[in-house]
Chains A and B, each alone.
Chain A
Amino acid sequence: MGKPMQVSRFWRHFKEKYRLIGTKCKKCGKIHFPPRQVCNECGSREMEEVQLSGRGKVISWTIVRNPPSGFEYYKPYPLALIELEEGPIILAQLTDVEPEEITFGMEVEMVTRKIREFNEDGIILYGYKFRPPVK
């Protein structure tokens, strides 16, 4: 797990990583995740922060068996494209689910989990993952 740690780079994104804060265009209403400063639909710069519900559907997925450095301990793990109910499509790991249980269109909900650790003495990164809903 030997990548250099860039604490400030991660810290800047805590809000979106921990609790899915996106942006909504005040002019055309489009919701973006990750947050944007300029709307890619209408070009407006009038954006407001919006809390996404964390509910969505799996539209595609793969199983990562040869992960990038820092993720070796978690292999094999599912990585999915998830369409959030507000519209944005995001790439995220699935958790609390076996590969054979994953299906197209499967409903999922957001949880905040450990994403990776930087050595024994580095920071621990937390962020969003998705799992089948508990209820």
Chain B
Amino acid sequence: MRLAISQRKSDSTFLRVMPMRKLLRPIKDVGIVGYGAYVPMFRIKSAEIGRVWGINAFPIEEKAVNNLDEDALTIGIEAARNALKRAKIDPGLIRAIWFGSESKPYAVKPSATVIAEAIGATPHLDAADFEFACKAGTEALQAAIGFVGSGMAEYAMAIGADTAQGRPGDHLEFTAAAGGAAYIVGEKSSETLAYFEGSYSYVTDTPDFWRRQHEHYPRHGNRFTGEPAYFRHIINAAKGLMEELGLTVNDFDYAVFHQPNVKFPLTVAKILGIPVERVKPGLLSGVIGNTYSGATLVGVSAVLDIAKPGERILWVSFGSGAGSDAFSLVVQDAIEEKRDLAPKTWDYINRKKYIDYALYVKHRGKLLM
């Protein structure tokens, strides 16, 4: 650890009195007492979208589409209920519900309050919606770790869920999907099914993807979204976390990276030297698409569904704009008795019904009545 003295061209000298510690770790050790995922049952094949727009090369096989009566909020409710089933706690003990999404049903009015009411957590709690493109879910998780780790609260819930928007005909339309997951954070104990060794966030101002106020669809910087945005942030976050914890890629049994498609996370694994078989269990974008704020949260839920006590998971999100949150998670004994208390992620993925582009358009609310 070092003390940093930064000198500017002016006369002023700034002394940073805080040590330059990159790792984020709260005073108390915290872990996950319950997790739950949800993926809507409708799927559209990339080939069907391609048929309409005359495109025949696709980044994924198929993606999940919300039902007519589903939005990011209802996805959040079901994920939260599943997390609660595994946590086996009184919902009234949850002192914060933070909902990360970029497709909130209301521009102004928290979705988190509806979710809190729906799971019976009101009124003694904090609630808010987070937005950081695809990183809002892990952003909420960072906050929950701090909230519980500081001793302010016994339990806090972080949710990431989206019904992502892709402009018709744009290549994002192939991947922008619906799904989400919720995590309840509590102090590390025999009740936690996995604990956080530490986390690290890496953020810069990189305008690779955005949606302006009142716009229906986001815009992106095409190839600019790859190298300076996705890869730079994910790789720096992953390396930064491992350095701070004194770990190498060989210490991790699973790795889950943000998954806008299948190729990007596999490329990250290759760059970091992680074998493909450690990435595959948490790589779901090929069959459900990119669930944006939900993406890594859903991926990690699929890993927790199969992981054994003692195994270690590297978890790195990415959100455009841009930044990454990296977590190191160690699975504990409680996973064995808790994982069967709610539907598993693959129970939802296997429950599928294909729709054509016409029904997809209706489900996505694109028809003017």
When distances are taken between beta carbons in the complex, the residues of chain A under 8 Å from B348 are 134
**B117 near A135: Cβ-Cβ < 8 Å:** no
Distance from A37 Cβ to chain B, minimum over Cβ atoms (Å)? 21
Q: Which of A19, A72, A93, A126 touches B120 (beta carbons < 8 Å)?
A: A19
Q: Mark A1-21, 1 if CB is under 8 A from B, else 0.
A: 100000000000011001100
When distances are taken between beta carbons in the complex, the residues of chain B under 8 Å from A74 are 68-69
Chain A residues within 8 Å of chain B by Cβ, number? 23
When distances are taken between beta carbons in the complex, the residues of chain A under 8 Å from B129 are none
Stretch from A40-48, A55-63, A82-90, A109-117 at the B interface: A109-117
Whether A134 touches B70, Cβ cut-off 8 Å, given contacts A19-B118, A124-B106, is: no
**A115 near B117: Cβ-Cβ < 8 Å:** no
* A18 to B77 alpha-carbon distance, docked (Å): 10
Q: Taking the complex as formed, is B28 at the interface, i.e. its CB lies under 8 A from any CB of chain A?
A: no
Distance from B32 Cβ to chain A, minimum over Cβ atoms (Å)? 21
When distances are taken between beta carbons in the complex, the residues of chain A under 8 Å from B351 are 134
Q: Which of B74, B343, B353, B367 touches A114 (beta carbons < 8 Å)?
A: B74
Q: Taking the complex as formed, is A24 at the interface, i.e. its CB lies under 8 A from any CB of chain B?
A: no
Whether A113 touches B117, Cβ cut-off 8 Å, given contacts A73-B369, A96-B41, is: no
When distances are taken between beta carbons in the complex, the residues of chain A under 8 Å from B105 are 124
Q: Taking the complex as formed, is A51 at the interface, i.e. its CB lies under 8 A from any CB of chain B?
A: yes
Q: Taking the complex as formed, is A129 at the interface, i.e. its CB lies under 8 A from any CB of chain B?
A: yes
Q: Taking the complex as formed, is B125 at the interface, i.e. its CB lies under 8 A from any CB of chain A?
A: no
Distance from B340 Cβ to chain A, minimum over Cβ atoms (Å)? 9
Distance from B40 Cβ to chain A, minimum over Cβ atoms (Å)? 8
Name the residue of chain B whose CB is nearest to the CB of A74: B68
Distance from A126 Cβ to chain B, minimum over Cβ atoms (Å)? 6
When distances are taken between beta carbons in the complex, the residues of chain A under 8 Å from B67 are 95-96, 113
When distances are taken between beta carbons in the complex, the residues of chain A under 8 Å from B62 are none
* A53 to B262 alpha-carbon distance, docked (Å): 39
Distance from B369 Cβ to chain A, minimum over Cβ atoms (Å)? 6
When distances are taken between beta carbons in the complex, the residues of chain B under 8 Å from A115 are 69
Distance from B41 Cβ to chain A, minimum over Cβ atoms (Å)? 5
**B74 near A113: Cβ-Cβ < 8 Å:** yes
Q: Taking the complex as formed, is B143 at the interface, i.e. its CB lies under 8 A from any CB of chain A?
A: no
Whether A114 touches B118, Cβ cut-off 8 Å, given contacts A72-B369, A134-B347, A134-B351, is: no
- Residues of A whose CB lies within 8 Å of any CB of B are 1, 14-15, 18-19, 51, 72-74, 93, 95-96, 98, 111-115, 124, 126, 129, 134-135
Query: Can you list 21 contacts pairing A with B, beta carbon distance less than 8 Å?
Result: A1-B369, A19-B118, A19-B120, A73-B362, A73-B365, A74-B69, A95-B67, A112-B74, A112-B78, A113-B67, A113-B69, A113-B70, A113-B74, A114-B69, A114-B70, A114-B71, A124-B105, A126-B77, A126-B118, A129-B69, A134-B343
CB-based closest 4 A-B pairs: A113-B69, A18-B118, A114-B69, A134-B343
